[in-house]
Amino acid sequence: MTGELAALRSALTTTDVDGYLIDAAGDEPEQRYVSGFSAPDPFQTLVTDDGVHLLVSGLEYGRARSEADADSVTNTAAYDAQDLRDEYGPREGRLRTIEAFLADHDVSSIAVPQHCPIGTADGLRDLGVDVTVEADDVVGEIRATKSGAEIDAIHETQAANQRAMAVAEGLIAAAEVRDGVLYHEGEPLTSERVTTEIEIALLREGCALDETIVACGADAADPHDRGSGPLEAGESIVIDIFPRDKETGYFGDMTRTFVRGQPSDELKRRYDATDEAFEAALDAIEPGVTGDEVHGIVCDVIEDAGYATLRSDPETDTGYIHGTGHGVGLDIHEGPRLSFGGEELEPGHVVTVEPGIYDPAVGGVRIEDLVVVTEDGYENLTDYPIAIEPEDRR
């Protein structure tokens, strides 16, 4: 971590604080990134000039000492956490334990991330610690630029993701169509069934996921609808899968849209416009271009095709109603953003590219790959065909 955190250390020097404190759940992405440790319960990570220091309960102490990427690990018992809790109650006792940890490292002023709980920040202030918000998200910027090992981890999750997509596409391709509904083994093929098969495929790959989108028809026109019920022929089926490797913690992310049978001319037109916007975005990706510019290029294509965007109409609920992409790493949504105000792209940024066009009356279309920005353009971490007609690739 030492090299990666240099920018954070110089920010601490500039703002004249003694340390940077992360008080967060053990699976919170920034916590995991800086500490190199993952735990079910919250713990504290302190970054100072002389290293990365962890404060964990006795329950995590042994594992933290062997697994964390830290210069020191301290058990809360070393600061008599139990006595403090008995004397001051659980809330103030916890704060006084953190205060003792800070004092032990000669820290009396800290910067905290924007996501730091106000209960901790104001509580430490009440105990005399000087707390300021690190408003520039320096760690977020550090995290946005991936190392080779991080890119490999994301690439691996994305490869598992592709095998899960093949399971889903295969189910749709192999389904029988009766009265406009897809059937699998005599039962209607539902969003829920396809989702389950995707998730089982990913579990077997060592990945976990909270949510998967398999949305058909009007459901697919709401980009955040998970989808439900029988899949229908002639309607668009949007499949968006964003698994996390359980071991490394890194996410993948991809979306494909399929239509079994004949799509309407209008649906096909929207698919082609989305595909064109997708290709235009990829063509634009290189160091120096901003996420704002890439998003603008996608809006150009979609507006030229005759559809609304949030740029042409900020209140529209049909057309192109989301950003073009986001960074992916230990969090599914992190920097940089490929949308209004999006940052300048740099080598090592890993971003999704995912334009779409939506209307409940027609359905939804979205196409999404995951790419890494390189010195002279990008490398696509996704290797999966883009076609509206499903094929059985299992």
Maximum alpha-carbon separation in the chain: 73
Q: Which is nearer to a second copy, 91 or 394 (CB)?
A: 91
d(CA 254, CA 209): 13
Q: Which is nearer to a second copy, 63 or 269 (CB)?
A: 63
Asked if 196 touches a second copy (CB under 8 A), the answer is yes
Q: Tell me, what DSSP letter sits at residue 140?
A: H
Asked if 385 touches a second copy (CB under 8 A), the answer is no
Asked if 322 touches a second copy (CB under 8 A), the answer is yes
Asked if 187 touches a second copy (CB under 8 A), the answer is no
In DSSP terms, which residues pair with 181 in a beta bridge? 178, 232
Q: Which is nearer to a second copy, 246 or 394 (CB)?
A: 246
Nearest distance, CB of residue 379 and a second copy, angstroms: 27
Q: Which of 193, 164, 260 is nearest to 185 (CA)?
A: 193
Asked if 248 touches a second copy (CB under 8 A), the answer is no
Asked if 55 touches a second copy (CB under 8 A), the answer is no
Is 70 in a helix, a strand, or coil? coil
Other residues' Cβ atoms within 10 Å of the Cβ of residue 126: 11
Other residues' Cβ atoms within 10 Å of the Cβ of residue 225: 16
Asked if 346 touches a second copy (CB under 8 A), the answer is no
Site stretch for a second copy (CB under 8 A), options 60-68, 166-174, 181-189, 378-386: 60-68
Asked if 316 touches a second copy (CB under 8 A), the answer is yes
Q: Which residues contact 51 (CB under 8 A, 6 or more apart)?
A: 2, 70, 71, 72
The amino acid present at 97, given as its one-letter code, is: T
d(CA 51, CA 29): 19
Applying CB under 8 A, the site for a second copy has a residue count of 63
Do residues 98 and 42 lie in contact, with contact meaning Cβ atoms separated by under 8 Å?
no
Interacting residues with a second copy between 135 and 154 (CB under 8 A): 135
Sheet of 181-184, strand order? 176-178, 181-184, 187-188
Run of H or E residues at 172: helix 148-174
Nearest distance, CB of residue 165 and a second copy, angstroms: 17
Q: Which residues contact 159 (CB under 8 A, 6 or more apart)?
A: 252, 383
Asked if 344 touches a second copy (CB under 8 A), the answer is no
Q: Which is nearer to a second copy, 98 or 112 (CB)?
A: 112
Q: Which is nearer to a second copy, 83 or 176 (CB)?
A: 83
Contact letters for a second copy, residues 296-315 (x by CB under 8 A): --------------x---xx
Rule CB under 8 A: choose which of 187, 210, 265, 376 binds a second copy: 210
Q: Which of 164, 136, 133, 145 is nearest to 243 (CA)?
A: 164
Asked if 223 touches a second copy (CB under 8 A), the answer is yes
Degrees, nearest 5: CA angle 72-248-64: 25
Contact letters for a second copy, residues 74-113 (x by CB under 8 A): -x-x--xxxx-xx--xxx--------------------xx
d(CA 4, CA 140): 12
Asked if 30 touches a second copy (CB under 8 A), the answer is no
Which positions touch a second copy (CB under 8 A)? 27, 39-41, 58-63, 75, 77, 80-83, 85-86, 89-91, 112-123, 131, 133, 135, 192, 196, 199-200, 203-204, 206, 208-211, 222-225, 246, 310, 314-317, 321-322, 333, 337, 340-341
